[in-house]
Chains A and B, each alone.
Chain A
Amino acid sequence: MALPDHPFERFAAAQRPGLEGELRRALPETSPDTLARAVSDAVLSPGKRFRPLVALAAGELASAPAETARAVAVATEFVHAASLVLDDLPSMDDARRRRGRPALHVVHGTATAELVAVLLVARAFELVGGAEGASPATRTRLTRELAQAVEACCSGQGDDLAARPDALRLEDLESIHARKTGALFVAAVRGGAIGGGAREAELEALTRFARNLGLAFQITDDLLDLEGDAEVMGKDRAREGHRANFARLLGAESSRRLVEELSAAAVEALGPLGRRGRVLADLARVVRERRA
């Protein structure tokens, strides 16, 4: 029996070693050692690396210079890692575990964790602002895209903290997650493509893809929060039961249906890109089938 064709997994397997190396090389140089170790722990702990891989795939489809795509990918992952560190803080979700390990603030303390987040965000902007292979205009645009994503993350987190889970409407939940998680996903896809000088029509298609898939990703996340195996997830579920959640709002079955439909809509959005979109299209399948 022939093996199924899974372009994203092939792409990820090819890119991951280089990406891990790049993440390591791009870590901000800092002192004292405890802070440097904390930064390293925050970034290099095992993760799925969806966002940087998506940025690299978008860069490839837009024929972006490899250095530019890598800069966008690493910057995106740094911002994501920073957001996780902040999210786990006692003042926020107060999570004790992340990526199968004790949360960063549990190991290094809250103050250090806060510094790590700031350092990573700063380093992310430094990377895109000086991305090799990109023109000054492209660098400026990449910086603006990333800044908008960070702003959206912050405002989404703010709303999430202020929200009363039992009073949230679907629109509120979407608004929170579109900013808190979706915005960075969109920035990763758009950033990779902008690095290659993608046309507006292509960026629009990629944005549609990222928005639909980002929401599918979040709903899957929420389903896993409620039904997944905590050990496999590597997350602390103690606080998850108190947060507003798509799966709780829609029901498990409807949530699964919506994940499928959003994934299909994401694939359909890539239509104008033709075969160049095959890796990202396969990512939709990965999101739909993910169990952790």
Chain B
Amino acid sequence: MIGAPPVALDEARRRLRELGYLDGRVDRFLFRRAFEGRGGLFLPAVVLSAFAAALASTAAVESSEAGFGASLAAVAVLFVHLFLADLVPAALAALVASKLADRARAPGALAAAAALAAAGAVVALWVGGVWSLVRNLPARALLWGVPIAAAAFVAATAVRGGVLARAYAHSRVLPSRRRSRFALASAALLVLAGALTLLGLRGEAVPAPPPKPSPRSGAVVVIAVDGFSDGTEAEAGRDLADLFAAAATGWWPAHPASPPEIWTDLATGEPPESHGVRALERVRPRFSPAAVRAPLGTSWYLRRVGPALGLVRGAPVSASDRRRLAFWEVAASAGLPAQAVGWWASGAWPGAEVVSNEELLAGARDGLGADRRARDLFRRAVGGERIRTVYLPGLDILRGQPEARRAALAETASFLIEEIRAARTRGDAVVVLAASSHPAAASLGRMLVFDGAERKTVRIREEDVAPSILARAGIPVSRDLAGRPVDALFAPGALDAETVPTYGARVAPRETRRSTDREYLEKLRSLGYLN
């Protein structure tokens, strides 16, 4: 019978290590478990992979969201959210890897492949995450490459060790591991070099030279009316109906989408996947002081699972979400004064007088008030603008309130008639964008042009609107836009035929917010947008 031992187990371990025993490195933990037939061989791989993935996604957000990194709390909270979320896919991947390891005839090759896949996924989350959020990457973002490469390497090593240990536990045969460390390190370096090169070569990191406008008299007035489906003019009275009937009209099939998405399509001449504005809301992880956009690989959690669990809240859309220039921003960049009131995802822009949607709605109690405020702000133009535009949200906000909507429609009709006549008197072109963020089945979106062209109706695309307005304002159209100017809707020879290769990236000035996310969201909610 052995009595109480003089040396405790932990003490014995420590002292034996000092004597050169139990001297394995990272794999010791895994192989010991494998040897003893215990589970959890992939635990380090799952934890370290989730860590690396969360780091990559957090880096993508930090690199692309101006001011986000200034709040360490925001960075830390986002990281913790993503880390916990990433444990799930990491565990699933580990499950697959463990099954493959059980069946592997060449565990060493499988381990190296799994490790490379893990490292590649981490780097892809970083590069793809940045790419999905921003095109004007600050140089300091590349500094993230160092910790991300280190995290990817550690995760890859853990994955490799997990696969090897699992294969060993299953077969009791050691796989070949010669030179694999060197190969793995080389591959990781190559992936990193590729990522850095990719990021470094991004041509859109700086804005293109501003387009040179042609000398042209007259301006373009753009009045955007949300909730104005085809046929609404008949409700508004004969005058407006007659006026609209005389316009050259381009139409497109309306489709349900969020108001910011539809109206940003029209403002930029690009589809949502290009301009980046998708929804009314961004996301704010619980306890985070800042809202973010969900980078590549995180939407499943930040937009779906997190909100369902109450761990993530929405935050309103803002101008920093938009990656392409709106038509008034192109004009201002070309040196032409511009005015824009009330558009979604709009914000301050050098050379333009911009009243954002947030500012517009902040001072409005309802749809009627929003339209009145928009019209009032629109009329305060200093004069001399080449492009003036206003977005009227009232009819859309009031779609469930027939009486108020009728009043709003009457005011909108008067405004349209008045502005169209005044503009035509001045020789300005008028473009009325009549569309609905909540379209009925088979309804249409329309661009009604009052520019002296004969009455006609042609099918166009939403993306054709912005290039048409720009061409009419005498600004060369970018050839990389999805849309094209529609000559048929304007007076012959009225559109500028010049083109430029690109308008470049939208390098936005720092956003100055006049309200908090909560206030803007509450306003949107009170107006019926987020119900």
Contacts and interface: CB of A to CB of B under 8 A. Distances in A.
Given A170-B7, A174-B16, A249-B5, A264 B173 contact: no
Contacts of A281: 172-174
Interface stretch (A71-79, A106-114, A253-261): A253-261
A264 B9 CA distance: 16
Contact of A260 (B8, B35, B175): B35
B9 A254 contact: yes
B487 to A, nearest CB: 71
Given A174-B16, A174-B19, A252-B2, A271 B27 contact: yes
Interface in B347-394: none
A93 interface: no
Interface in B1-57: 2, 4-9, 12-13, 15-16, 19-25, 27-28, 31-32, 34-36
Contact of B173 (A174, A212, A269, A275): A275
A260 B36 contact: yes
A250 B176 contact: no
B30 to A, nearest CB: 9
A193 interface: no
Contacts of A58: none
Given A272-B177, A275-B174, A281-B172, A249 B7 contact: yes
A274 B180 CA distance: 10
Nearest to A5: B172
Contacts of B172: 4-7, 278, 281-282, 285
Contacts of A270: 174
Most interface-central of A5, A267, A270 (chain B CB within 10 A): A267
Given A251-B2, A252-B2, A260-B35, A274 B21 contact: no
A199 to B, nearest CB: 11
Contacts of A274: 108, 174-178
A267 B35 contact: yes
A233 B5 CA distance: 24
Contacts of B31: 264-265, 267-268
Interface in B143-181: 168, 171-178
Contacts of A139: none
A195 B387 CA distance: 89
A267 B22 CA distance: 11
Given A170-B15, A274-B174, A277-B174, A264 B2 contact: no
Q: Which among A170, A253, A263, A285 has the highest number of chain B CB atoms within 10 Å?
A: A170
For chain B, the bracket of interface size reads 35 or more
Interface SS, B side: loop
A258 B9 contact: yes
Contacts of B24: 264-265, 268-269
Q: Chain B CB within 10 Å — which of A226, A254, A263, A288 has the most?
A: A254
Contact of A284 (B5, B15, B35): B35
B21 A272 contact: no
- Which secondary structure characterizes the binding site on chain A? helix
Contacts of A6: 172
B9 A212 contact: no
Nearest to B26: A268
A171 B15 contact: yes
Contacts of A253: 9
B9 A250 contact: yes
A37 interface: no
Contacts of B20: 211
Nearest to A174: B19
A189 interface: no
A257 B8 CA distance: 12
Nearest to B10: A254
A285 B13 CA distance: 20
Given A269-B24, A285-B172, A249 B35 contact: no
A43 B6 CA distance: 38
Nearest to A280: B174
B3 to A, nearest CB: 8
A251 to B, nearest CB: 3
Contact of A258 (B6, B13, B35, B175): B13
Interface in A1-25: 4-7
Contacts of A277: 174
A141 B183 CA distance: 34
A275 B32 CA distance: 18
Contacts of A184: none
Contacts of B35: 260, 263-264, 267, 284-285, 288
Interface of B: 2, 4-9, 12-13, 15-16, 19-25, 27-28, 31-32, 34-36, 108, 168, 171-178
Q: Which 7 A-B pairs have the closest CB atoms?
A: A251-B5, A274-B176, A264-B32, A264-B35, A268-B24, A254-B9, A268-B31
Given A7-B173, A212-B22, A249-B6, 17 more contacts: A211-B21, A215-B21, A251-B9, A252-B2, A254-B12, A260-B36, A261-B22, A264-B32, A265-B24, A268-B25, A268-B32, A273-B174, A275-B173, A275-B174, A281-B172, A281-B173, A282-B172
23 contacts: A5-B173, A170-B7, A170-B15, A174-B16, A208-B23, A211-B20, A212-B22, A215-B16, A215-B21, A226-B2, A248-B2, A250-B5, A251-B2, A258-B12, A264-B31, A265-B23, A267-B31, A268-B32, A274-B177, A275-B174, A278-B172, A281-B174, A284-B35
